[in-house]
Amino acid sequence: MSYIVAIDQSTSGTKVALWDEQLRMVRMERRKHRQFYPAPGYAEHDAEEIWNNTAALLCSVTSEIDPQQIAGIGIANQRETTVFGSAQRVSQSARQSSGRMYAQGLWRSGCETVRK
């Protein structure tokens, strides 16, 4: 039997689902992640938290199958979300939470500025 793994990384959390050859969902798990608001109209996530959540969910959802049975992986994400590479652009709250990766500036950041 072959399986497809689907990863949906959204603004509020991550979902990982396992589908069989008949396109039946075998298993699905989700985990929310924290939201940071460093300034009015701006939002960030901790990129390392999302990475760790995704890895944990993948391990859990696929724990009862042989990895050789995975025929493909599909990923849906936030599109315009960015992981910054400069500490000057990262809020203190997100930076303190992990220390290894920078915060993600979300697609909705700056919406208040654009509306004005």
* Per-residue pLDDT tens over the stretch 77-109: 876 666 655 554 444 544 454 454 555 555 454
pTM value > 0.75: no
Query: Strand 3-9 vs strand 13-19: parallel, antiparallel, or unpaired?
Result: antiparallel
Q: What is the pLDDT of residue 86?
A: 52
* Residue range 3-16, pLDDT digits in tens: 999 999 988 899 99
